[in-house]
Amino acid sequence: MDAQGRGRADNIDPADQWVLNPNTGEYELRLSPSAAQSPVPGPRRPSPRDGGGAADGRARRTGGETRQAGGESRQTPRARGAEVPQPRSARRKGGGEPEAPQGRRAARRPVKKKSRAKKVLLWTGGSMAFVLVAVTAAGYLYIKHLNDNITSVSDDGAGTGGFRKDEAINILLIGTDKRTGKGNEGYGDAGSVGHADTTILLHLSKDRSNATALSIPRDMIVDVPDCPTQQDDGSEKVIPGTQGVRFNTSLGQDGRTPSCTMRTVTELTGIKPDDFMVADFNAVKTLTEAVDGVDVCLAKDIDDPDSHLKLSKGTHKISGEQALAFVRTRHSVGFGGDLSRIGLQQQFLGALMRKLKGNATLTSPTKMLKLAEAGTKALTVDDKLDSIGKLKDLGLELGKLNPKNLTFTTVPVKDNPADGVVHKTVIVDPALAPQVFEAIQGDVSFTEVKKKQKAQKSAQAARLKGTKAPASEVRVRILNGGAADGSAQAELSWLQNNQGVTKSENVGNAPDELTKTTLEYAPDQAAQARRLAAIMGLSGAALKPGKSVTNSQGLPAMTLTLGKDFKGAGISLTPPTKAPDVNKSTADKVQCAS
């Protein structure tokens, strides 16, 4: 229908004549009063002005039918005798509704009163849409702001490439003694380049049932390996390693970066960290302020002028400067050295974890925002943790841990016999420390926990059960995948000369380094695999069902890859099932420092 059909001939678009009535929420036809308005074609509903519903001369109602001028008839919408309501314009003018005739029920639907409600709904919907857009934009900008807060540096290939959600996680936490930040100049050596003053290797088990925080004494004598380091211009510089030096010199000294500390930890423990986090003095202050302080305990009064800690015996809530003084004090506790201070630091971290796990922190948006702001500003992370999303994912994994199953312990050490002063420097305890390292490598808990992966461990154990082929029938290729140089040849000689595994050969280096020794075999070689596992002390986890390869003679053979856990020919590779008995504490308990 065009404008002519509406009685208008001035080229008006018909769509422009339909206007939204704000009172009813419906569109209505509005024609200019200055123009002649002819009736709209088609039947017209009668009104009281038409004499109570009489025909208008062009059509009449007959038994529910409408007879058009052209002689046609059709059924009307209200053909069953229902009273036709007034036009909407009449109702708006207060004309009221005609009453239905006696004995008959009006068939029309009641008028919906939706003027105010609909306006409110329209305004509310529009406002909500605006709020959602604004919140989304603000959220994006805030996440970008947090990402901009994060400082990251390259791990220079010293890590594993970043933590994985389906594997055990090893995070290296480094606290430096660099005096940057307001109010920190008065602490000790104001000119420090930032050594590894506090270092903790945090191991989170694969099933997330337990974790071990291993403190590494800063004054422990170690060998710092060569450290390839990326320079600002993109080039690589190898910082030469040094032997027989304090562990804390693995960072800062000679321009060493956190990646050098990662390499030193790997050299010491055999454990390759996934990621690192570096915190300076300000981190302790801002993080404790963000959670409104943590509770610590002292078994005696402390007044340490060096760390500026002055607290009475008992329990105290500390934050800010006082928290920094607490983790730095050493002269007033224990033997007055770094080993005594480690106990305070472990107590502090346990208190911080309890506070973070508490409902008061996790359910408070204000506190969570403060924590995110403080954390992203205070920490320097490796380039695999360089976004708030990655840090969130790591936090979710750590959040699965119950504090009672977080064990704090320290690398077992002995006094350095080269020193004339007790506890001036220390050396690794050669008998006990390897047991601690192996337990962490083997994902062994230092607390009594119920493992979540019994089915998997049962499947691994099942690989060792069954018949074993004679040693003379074992055909295997040996590769060096991270063990010491010459290990593959040494193992070959031991297998052939001492164990009768004559069908074995050394095929050189593996394409990739492995943390753990593995034996890959085809299904029809399972009996051979079980025999070799028994000879070498391999666990079920070391056996990897796969495919067969051919040896130098073109015959099918298994593949034995010696990983970094390989200690030497003839030394069993069976991982420990129980952690060694060492001094330890758990994060759920408060131990008052004395």
Q: How far is CA 173 from CA 51, 198, 199, 577, in A?
A: 93, 8, 6, 26
CATH number of residue 512's parent domain: 3.30.70
Task: Please state, in angstroms and rounded to a whole number, the distance separating the CA atoms of residues 140 and 118.
Answer: 33
Number of domains in the chain: 3
**The dihedral of CA 540, 546, 551, 557: what is its sign?**
positive
- 401 is a domain residue: yes
Measured distance CA(183)–CA(328) in Å, rounded: 15
Could you tell me if residue 306 is inside a domain?
yes
Is there a single domain that holds both residue 158 and residue 10? no
Q: Which domain holds residue 64?
A: 4-92
In terms of domains, do 423 and 487 share one?
no
pTM (predicted TM-score): 0.66
The residue behind tokens 């998997």 is 456
Burial class (CB in 10 A: 0-12, 13-18, 19+), 52: exposed
Residue 164 is part of a domain; what is its CATH number?
3.40.630.190
E strands, 47-91, are 60-62, 65-67, 73-75
Which residues make Cβ contacts (< 8 Å) with residue 314, sequence separation at least 6?
297, 298
CA distance 383 to 274: 11
The Cα–Cα gap between 473 and 450 comes to: 40
Separation between Cα atoms, residue 467 and residue 469, nearest integer Å: 7
Note whether 170 and 52 are same-domain residues.
no
Strand partners, 364: none
Residue 93 confidence (pLDDT): 45
Is 590 contained in some domain? no
Examine the domain organization and report whether 157 and 73 are in the same domain: no
Tell whether 317 and 276 lie within a shared domain.
yes
Per-residue pLDDT of the chain (594 residues; tens, 9 = 90+): 444 444 444 555 555 556 666 666 565 666 555 444 444 444 444 444 444 444 444 444 444 444 444 444 444 444 444 444 555 444 444 444 444 445 444 455 555 555 555 555 455 555 555 555 555 566 667 788 888 888 999 999 999 999 999 899 999 999 997 755 555 555 555 556 789 999 999 999 998 999 999 999 999 999 999 999 988 888 999 999 999 999 999 999 999 999 999 999 999 998 999 999 999 888 888 888 888 898 999 989 988 888 888 899 999 999 999 999 888 888 777 776 788 889 888 998 888 888 887 756 666 777 777 888 888 888 899 999 998 889 888 888 988 888 899 999 999 999 998 887 666 899 999 999 999 998 998 889 998 876 545 555 566 667 778 899 999 999 999 999 999 999 999 999 999 999 999 999 999 999 988 888 999 999 999 999 999 999 998 888 889 999 889 999 999 999 999 998 898 998 888 777 788 889 888 888 877 887
β-strand 379-382 against 275-279: which pairing, if any?
A: antiparallel
- Same domain? For 420 and 463 the reply is no
3-state helix, strand, coil in the chain (%, to 5): 30, 20, 45
Mark which of 41, 75, 92 sits at the end of a domain: 92
What pLDDT, on a 0 to 100 scale, did the predictor assign at position 593?
80
436 and 512 assigned to the same domain: no
